[in-house]
Structure 1
Amino acid sequence: MNTTKPNLLLDRRFSPFFWTQFFGAFNDNIFKNALVIFITMKSFSLGSVSSEQMVALCGGIFILPFFVFSATAGQLADKLSKTRIVVWVKIWEIVVMSVGAYGFINDRVGVLLVTLFFMGLHSAFFGPVKYSILPQLLTREELVSGNAYVEMGTFLAILLGTLLGGLLIAHIALGRWLVSAVVLAVATAGLYASQRIQPLGAAAPSLSIQFNPLPLIWDTMRRIHAHRSVFVSILGISWFWFFGAGMLSILPSYCKQYLQGSETLITLFLALFSVGIGIGSLLCGRLSARKLELGLVPCGSLGISLFCFDLFLVGSPGNLDTVDRTIGTTILGFLTTTDGLRIAVDLLFLAISGGVFIVPLYTLIQQRSAKEERSRVIAGNNILNAFFMVCAAAVLVILFRLEFSIPQIFMLFCILNVVVTTYIYIVVPEFLFRCLSWGITNLVHRVEIIGSDRLPMEGPAVLFCNHMSYLDWLIIASACPRPIRFVVYRNFLQNPLLRWIFRDTRVIPIAGAEENPAILDSACKDIATELRNGQIVC
């Protein structure tokens, strides 16, 4: 059974959009990192604000537009053609980068900070389109692979943009000119790619636009909270950004304070984290067998906790003396030591687990949010993501004031990850149900699926099985790319554990005509209703 579409990056439906979003993230990070280094090298101050304070403010300046404008951006993305919005955003990016080039060339740090805000505005308006456009460009079975490529591209763009921004601005004589030329060139490449995205119709053309941000944000939060599985998926994604932002913030200090590492080792850590997310995203696409596989989410969260816990162990206070304090002088020296290799493996596989964790959550939001409000749901996700990243920075400030060591912070993040993800799986047991069915059909038993192409991707269908074992329903659930409404003998639901697992699968209890005719009649009516609603019943 073919599990991925290997030429998706070459597909004319997907490729222009992929490169559009890649160039956008790439340019954001070229500009941000070049600006941070530029302010640091020049020791700029703005009034009473020191250069160190300005560097700290850069992150807040970039994130602020996500709070204020994401809800409006979501409305526009639902009301108007997403293709047109992408092109407008790319034109805006060229204008903003032109202003940024002026700021770099003329040493106008105030202009550069304004430019950074406008780049955040650019990303805030692109964000709702970035994920809501995929269901219009791709088929349902291509959606997981599409999200995997987008996540891979995003984190590789962050890595490459951060590295290139630092390299360009470090050139003493031509740094400002090089950064200016490159950001304009990348913005132009993004516009070129955006103009090749296929034209798309508006999802909700009659939607009226509101511009007051506060009630609009409240309405967006209410909208995402209305669907439980969508809301907890957004919570999971936001938690991942909290975790990722926190980890990336403390890795430089961990490298310098605990490993005596150089800037090259910090770059290695960033590369391991970014590449790991990309690998995990692609791995998730392959393991999902071209369908939304929520069972991979618990696997990803387990990996995050385990490898984060091992980072605590390798650098815990009781074990710190065994770490060679000189291993961080070079990358080769670091990787040729036992503890150095262990830390690198932990970071890589932690990030791979993160990629496996996050891709199904994005796909669930896309598939289970209504077409006419999908962009607004994605906008709500972006607002919460930004809020959680700001919270991560605030939490780290508090932890450092409380004199937490970095290994202790690793341990705290591990515990928080267990708490948050456990809450998610309790609220929506479907994640554990799918994990159980995926594990049985992929790890315990090697199940060969024949005739899956006969299952309709839309519309009603009835599945009959001969019920050879109590695992039948798990195997069928794993094999089917769509949710199934199982008809289950009512006595099975008397078990509290089974009742909890089945809660979100909307099973239909049934009984014999002589045993309980009322339950039988109710089951027949429920089956008819589910089929009228286009569901699969087994």
Structure 2
Amino acid sequence: MKQQSNQTEREQVRWARKRFIAMAGTYFLGVFNDNFFKQAILLLAVAAGLNQIQGYATELFSLPFILFSAWGGWLADRFAKRRVVIGVKFLELMAMLIGAYGILTMNWPCVLSMVFLMGLQSTLFGPALNGSIPELYPRNFVTRANAVLKLVTTVAILLGMALAGFALDLQLMSTSIPFGRIVVACAVVCIGLLGVLASFGVYSRPAGNTHVSFPWSGPLHSIRDLVKLKKDPLLLLAVFCDSFFYFVSLLAVLVINTLGLQQLGLSASRTSLLAVSLMVGVCFGALAAAKITSHSRWTHVLPWGSAGMGISLAAAGGLVTVGGGGQFLLLLCCLVLAGSFGGLFLIPVTSFIQVRPGAGDKGKVIAAANFLAFSCMLLAGRLFPLLDGHFQPAVSMQILGAFSLLAGLVISLVLKLKLS
């Protein structure tokens, strides 16, 4: 009987893999476009001395998750997820057209409006896509599927962030508008169109809960959904850990941009490589998490992952403060290590949030997790100007490291209460 069960599971994995490719491709293009454009505007803002734009952009990207996460969860549970994905990809294309105009004309209100639309399409897109993973794969394979998807999306983030700096530095011909900005504008529109085409290949499965009522109260509905998670303390812990990760990682990326461009005097492309090194580490950590964790055994990596992030970020900040030869290479290594611990921390948390809820509640729970995560990211956008105004970037990095190390200790104490 066990052999027959294993055979059935392998057949389901083979069946799901072909459908997973279209979903991963759609996700890859969207994530690449988001990060390519966002990194380009952040670099342009810092280069122009408009450091506060980084905070504004972060807040505007996070705001839709706070206002409309409940709506995204409702769409994912109420309709076939393929229909949701296709509709949202058309919204992304519209956002990229607005953003392309904004970056060509350096119209900051237009650019920031596009950032808000990027956040809105991600709000509606996330529950539908993430909720479909446990629909495709057997429960025991969800962690590995998430590791692969995290690898795909991290490569998209890496390429987006790295190529943004190189694209802006391009000077292949003399134009009235800097050539690099023209490249960025054309690229985001073309990739947005490819994303629309790829979305038609996403697998369609019937809606999980066609009778769920529309959450008119929006954020209040998300708060109520979070409060209800008290009945499942382990799921609530996973949601809080997910939010903590995105809070720290976003602040780290914002600090890295000012660290590279202003404190170290690096070019846009070399500054992007600092952020890329963090994402490379996330890939390594994700693959490690797929090997040493499972749906039933994952909490043991949380304290080590958080503490490892903290020590590595603090080391990166200390390295810049001390200075010395080979600083850039050592800084890259510290950030790779921080990302590795981050990936080890994040993947089992993400998988548990996807698998734990019932079939008709996955969208709702994922949306509630997004609501909390992006509320924390909005807070990060608010905190960044305070850090930037009072501390050197290297010191801000050390503060983030200390906070992550403290969080690891708190998580360890919570787990000792035998929450699971």
Structure 1 residues 284, 8: CA separation in 2 closer, same or farther (over 3 Å shift)?
A: farther
Contact 2:103 2:111 in 1 (8 A): yes
Tell me the residue number matched to 1:88.
87
SS at match of 1:12: helix
Contact 1:8 1:15 in 2 (8 A): no
Match of 1:219 among 210, 224, 230: 224
Match of 1:362 among 350, 360, 364: 350
Structure 1 residues 287, 8: CA separation in 2 closer, same or farther (over 3 Å shift)?
A: farther
Match of 2:376 among 388, 391, 394: 388
- State the Cα distance separating 1:257 from its structure 2 match: 6.2
- State the Cα distance separating 1:66 from its structure 2 match: 1.3
Tell me the residue number matched to 2:18.
12
TM-score (ref. length: structure 2): 0.85
Establish whether residue 178 from structure 1 lines up as the match of residue 183 from structure 2.
yes
- Cα distance in 2 for residues equivalent to 1:24 and 1:154: 9
Establish whether residue 283 from structure 1 lines up as the match of residue 284 from structure 2.
no
- State the Cα distance separating 1:287 from its structure 2 match: 2.9
Establish whether residue 140 from structure 1 lines up as the match of residue 139 from structure 2.
yes
Aligned AA for 1:119?
M
Tell me the residue number matched to 2:36.
30
Give ranges in structure 2 of 5+ residues lacking alignment: 1-5
Establish whether residue 409 from structure 1 lines up as the match of residue 392 from structure 2.
no
- Cα distance in 2 for residues equivalent to 1:295 and 1:95: 43
- Cα distance in 1 for residues equivalent to 2:297 and 2:351: 7
- Cα distance in 2 for residues equivalent to 1:306 and 1:59: 25
Aligned AA for 2:344?
V
Tell me the residue number matched to 1:487.
none
Structure 1 residues 289, 40: CA separation in 2 closer, same or farther (over 3 Å shift)?
A: closer
Contact 2:91 2:121 in 1 (8 A): yes
In the TM superposition, 1:513-532 aligns within 5 A as none
Structure 1 residues 416, 176: CA separation in 2 closer, same or farther (over 3 Å shift)?
A: closer
- State the Cα distance separating 1:342 from its structure 2 match: 3.7
- State the Cα distance separating 1:399 from its structure 2 match: 4.0
- State the Cα distance separating 1:84 from its structure 2 match: 1.2
Write the deviation string for residues 273-299 of structure 1: whole angstroms up to 9, x where unpaired.
111111111121133379753333333
Structure 1 residues 201, 243: CA separation in 2 closer, same or farther (over 3 Å shift)?
A: same
Structure 1 residues 249, 107: CA separation in 2 closer, same or farther (over 3 Å shift)?
A: closer
Match of 1:191 among 188, 196, 214: 196
Contact 1:242 1:388 in 2 (8 A): yes
Give ranges in structure 1 of 5+ residues lacking alignment: 44-49, 328-336, 430-499, 506-538
Write the deviation string for residues 416-470 of structure 1: whole angstroms up to 9, x where unpaired.
22332333333344xxxxxxxxxxxxxxxxxxxxxxxxxxxxxxxxxxxxxxxxx
Write the deviation string for residues 156-200 of structure 1: whole angstroms up to 9, x where unpaired.
222211233344455553545433432222122222222112111
Aligned length: 404
- State the Cα distance separating 1:229 from its structure 2 match: 0.9
Tell me the residue number matched to 2:250.
245
- Cα distance in 2 for residues equivalent to 1:109 and 1:254: 23
Structure 1 residues 417, 116: CA separation in 2 closer, same or farther (over 3 Å shift)?
A: closer
Structure 1 residues 292, 205: CA separation in 2 closer, same or farther (over 3 Å shift)?
A: farther
Structure with more relative contact order (C-alpha pairs < 8 Å, separation 6 or more): 2
Aligned AA for 2:407?
V
- Cα distance in 1 for residues equivalent to 2:383 and 2:96: 33
The structure carrying a bigger helix percent of its residues is 2
- State the Cα distance separating 1:15 from its structure 2 match: 1.0
- Cα distance in 1 for residues equivalent to 2:305 and 2:414: 18
Tell me the residue number matched to 2:410.
423
Aligned AA for 2:212?
L
- Cα distance in 1 for residues equivalent to 2:268 and 2:96: 28
Write the deviation string for residues 82-111 of structure 1: whole angstroms up to 9, x where unpaired.
111111111222233234344455665544
Q: Percent identity?
A: 25
Say which is worse superposed, 245-254 or 354-363, in terms of deviation. 245-254
Bigger-Rg structure (1/2) = 1
- Cα distance in 1 for residues equivalent to 2:233 and 2:294: 25
In the TM superposition, 1:77-476 aligns within 5 A as 77-104=76-103, 109-170=108-169, 171=171, 173=175, 174-255=179-260, 259=264, 261-288=266-293, 293-311=298-316, 313-315=318-320, 320=322, 323-324=323-324, 327=325, 337=326, 340-401=328-389, 403-429=390-416
Contact 1:82 1:202 in 2 (8 A): yes
Structure 1 residues 100, 309: CA separation in 2 closer, same or farther (over 3 Å shift)?
A: closer
Contact 2:158 2:276 in 1 (8 A): yes
Structure 1 residues 35, 84: CA separation in 2 closer, same or farther (over 3 Å shift)?
A: same
Contact 1:145 1:290 in 2 (8 A): no
SS at match of 2:143: helix
Contact 1:8 1:14 in 2 (8 A): no
- Cα distance in 2 for residues equivalent to 1:130 and 1:82: 7
How big is the alpha-carbon RMSD for the aligned residues of Structure 1 and Structure 2?
Answer: 3.1
SS at match of 2:360: helix
Aligned AA for 1:25?
V
